[in-house]
Each structure stands twice: as C-alpha cells, then as structure tokens.
Amino acid sequence: MNRRLLLLLLLLLVGGGVAAYLLLTQNQPQNPPATDVAGTGGDQGGTGGQTQQQQGPTPTPIAFTEIVIAIQELPRGIVIPENGVITRLWPLDSFPSYGIQDPRDVIGKIARTDIAREAPVLQTQLVDNLFDLGLSGRGSDAAAVIPPGKVAIAVPVDRLTNVAHAPKSGDRVDVLISFLFVDVDEEFQSIKPNKVTLTTVTQEGNIQLLTGIDGRIEPSGDFPNPVVVGPSERQRPRLVTQRTIQNALVLNVGMFDKEGDFLGRRPTPTQPIATPGGPPTPTPPPNIATATPNVYNPDIVVLVVDPQDAVVLAWATESGLPMFFALRSAQDESVSETQAVTLEYMLTTYQIPQPPRLPYALEPPIFAIRQLIRQGQVSLYSLSDGTQTTTTDNNQ
C-alpha cells in the first residue's frame, strides 16, 4: 500500500515539472533566423540546424555632391550650348580635380578639347575664346570647327557674286559656275580658225611662202582656184552656267584675324562708376558726327566642302571661271539636281523667239547688253570689231 502511494506521488511530480517547462517555453520571444556565415544555406529539412550570425561595424554612408557633365558630344572648338550640359550627383571622394559644379561656369565657353558624352566637364577643358586654343598645341582655331572629313578653301568674291555680301559664318551656299566654250585645233590647242599660209613655187623650183591669212581653204565654183574663207571677228564663245557644289558651309568672310580669333574676342564689360547715393553713371553714346563710314567689301570667302569639291573650286579659280554664290535657307540642307543653262535652254524654256529682220532699227544702235555707258551727253559704243566710237546726244 505504501509503495503504490509513493509511485503515484513520483508520477505527479514528474508531470508537474513537464507542464511547467512547456509553459515557460511558450511565453519566451522567438529568436530571428540566424545568418549562415559558412554559406551552407541552413537546414533544408526543417529540423532547425544551428547557424552562426555575422557581427560587424555599421557601414558609413557615401557622400555625394553635384558636378557638371556633358549630355552630348562636345567637339573641340564648339561654343557649349545651354542644353549641352547638366548637373548630376557624383561621389565626393572621387570628385575630379578642376571639376565644375555650376553650369553657368560652362555655358558659353569654348571646348578646348573634345569632351565625351556623360563625362565630367573640367576647367582645364574650357577657354573663353578660340585664340586660347593655341595654348593646347593642337592646331589653329579654324581647324577646330571644321567637321571631320571636310576641308576649308578660300575663293575670290565680290559684292555681285557673294549675294551683296549677305553670307556670314555659319550660312550655307550653292556655287554656280559659268563656262565659255570655243572650238580649238586639237593639236595646236589654239582657237580656230587656223592661219593659212599660201605657198608658190619659183622658176628655180624653190617653195616661197606668201602672207598668212586666218581662215581655211575651200573650193569655189565661181573661181577656178580655191579660196580662203576667214572669220570676220574673233570666235564667239558659247556660254553654259550650272550649279555645281551644293550646301557648302561658310566658315569665314574676308581675312581671318592675325591672332586667329575669327569668332571675335569676348568684350570685357565696362563697369560704370557708381555715384554715391544715386544710380550708376551711364556710358555716353559714341559721337555719330565724327564716325568714319566703314565700307564692308570683302574680296575672299572661306568655304567648308568635301575634299573633291575643294579640288573643283581650286580648278575653277585657276581657270578664271566666274562663280556665283546662292545663299540657302537656314532650314534647308537638301541636295537636288538642276539643268545646265545655255542659249538653247533659254530660248526653248521661256519661248523666246528669234527677232525677224526688219527694214527699221533703234537709234542709237546697241551692240552688247549693258555695254552702253552714259556720261552726260556723251555715249560710248563698242563696235563688233572691237573698236569704240563716241556720239553726242543733243537731246539731253
């Protein structure tokens, strides 16, 4: 009887201990999952294998600052536009030397070297004018603005051929060239007709040269001997005009500055002297009465063209061919075809009839277009044989 009572008390004590342990474990907070330092991936079977948690110092946050970078390709010599740069955040620890944080220090400056897109713009890459480009030792300022694959060439102009000097740097023009064709002897390369020298044979059997005559020998049905047909005037050339080079870039009109700064130096602003207690003293206007008139009449223009077109312009200049420039619209860079203009083209296209011969004519006679020069009461005419005569107009 005592043994049974003792066994029952022992079972009650063991059951109470187990219940107390279960209550304590349910009330304790759950531990977060441990980090697997060894990289074994933890317990995949759900049995709860123990892992080691990594402990270390808290990382320091990276400090950033603004920097000016290029958002487009900026070639050497370009005046940096407002939409060419932007500010972005840049790690402070890797901020480059001579970096720029304010876009106002970049816009309007000239690129001294090529600046790649997404690259920071540095102070050493900028100049105020193209003259400073020479300090980099990379060539002239004019070469800095010529696009790759193009060349610059100078050709002579005047106010008539250069659109009254309207084109300026940055404009585009078409080049019209006129040709004068004449017939020449293929071997002599001289203008026809050739000079014919008649010969005769003396009684002694010698050949004697007679006076040379311009013309050619032709048979004649009216005379027993051949005749010499010669011209009454110099051979008249045949005119052809055609548009050749199109969309040529005008680099400069007139001579470059001796310093090479053809875009012009930026003027240094003059600070007005402030009057104490009042507004700044205004700058007096220039004396208009003593101003010297400046006649703008350049005789040369520099074009940027393909290398082959440069050879064409050089040949036309050496040949003395008249060249006209046609100013293009700033919004038009298209290329089209044109027809060469000749006398036949003018008569056919515009339906110009050949005037008939009439028993009356105009007085004074007109021998050439725009050849009549009036000076007071004296008129000067050039005759068809090249001589000149004067007449007096008593009606003026």
Q: What are the residue ranges spanned by the domains of the chain?
A: 64-144, 148-182+237-262+296-354, 189-236, 358-392
pLDDT for the residue 356:
93
The whole-number pLDDT of residue 24 equals 61
Tokens, residue 117: 């897109």
pLDDT tens figures, 8-37: 666 666 666 666 666 666 555 555 554 444
Q: Compare 323 and 268 and report the one with higher pLDDT.
A: 323
| Cβ contact 230:193 at 8 Å | yes
Mean pLDDT, the chain, integer = 77
Instruction: Give how far the C-alpha of residue 182 lies from the chain's centroid of Cα atoms, to the nearest Å.
Output: 37
The tokens for 164 are 């009254």
Helix (H) or strand (E) holding 8: helix 2-27
Q: What is the CATH number of domain 64-144?
A: 3.90.1210.10
Whole-prediction pTM: 0.54
Give the pLDDT confidence score for residue 199 in this predicted structure.
78
Task: Match 């720029």 to its residue by tokens.
Answer: 100
pLDDT at 127: 81
Task: Print burial letters for 212-224: b (CB count within 10 Å at least 16), e (below 16).
Answer: eeebbeeeeeeee
**In the predicted model, is pLDDT for residue 366 greater than 50?**
yes
Give the tokens for residue 9: 């008390």
Least confidently predicted of 97-111, 258-272, 355-369: 258-272
Residue 271: both structure tokens together: 């600070």
Whose tokens are 């009461």? That residue is 377
Q: Cα(first)–Cα(last) distance of the chain, in Å? A: 170
For residue 180, what pLDDT is reported?
93
What kind and span of H or E run contains 14?
Answer: helix 2-27
What does the pLDDT read at residue 93? 87
Peptide bond into 286 cis (omega under 30): no
Contact between 366 and 355 (Cβ < 8 Å): no
CA distance 98 to 122: 5
Rounded to whole angstroms, the Cα distance separating 240 from 177 reads 8
In sequence order, which residues have a C-beta less than 8 Å from that of residue 139 and are 6 or more positions away? 133
| Token pair listed for 247 | 């969309």
Asked if residue 380 lies in contact with residue 373, where contact means CB atoms within 8 angstroms, the answer is yes
Pair 185, 349: CB distance under 8 Å: no
Mean pLDDT of 124-150: 69
Which span out of 71-80, 141-150, 234-243 was modeled with the highest average pLDDT? 234-243
Q: Which residues contact 88 (CB under 8 A, 6 or more apart)?
A: 66, 67, 69
Least confident of 335-339, 354-358, 365-369: 365-369
> Are the CB atoms for 238 and 343 separated by under 8 Å?
yes
Range with top average pLDDT, 58-62, 100-104, 111-115, 262-266: 100-104
- Pairwise CA distance, residues 193 & 183, whole Å: 8
Residue type, 238: R
Predicted confidence (pLDDT) at residue 48 exceeds the cutoff of 60: no
Strands in the chain per DSSP E = 64-70, 85-91, 110-111, 126-127, 151-156, 172-181, 195-201, 207-214, 216-218, 227-229, 238-243, 248-253, 300-305, 323-327, 373-375, 378-382, 388-392
Q: Which residues contact 340 (CB under 8 A, 6 or more apart)?
A: 240, 241, 242
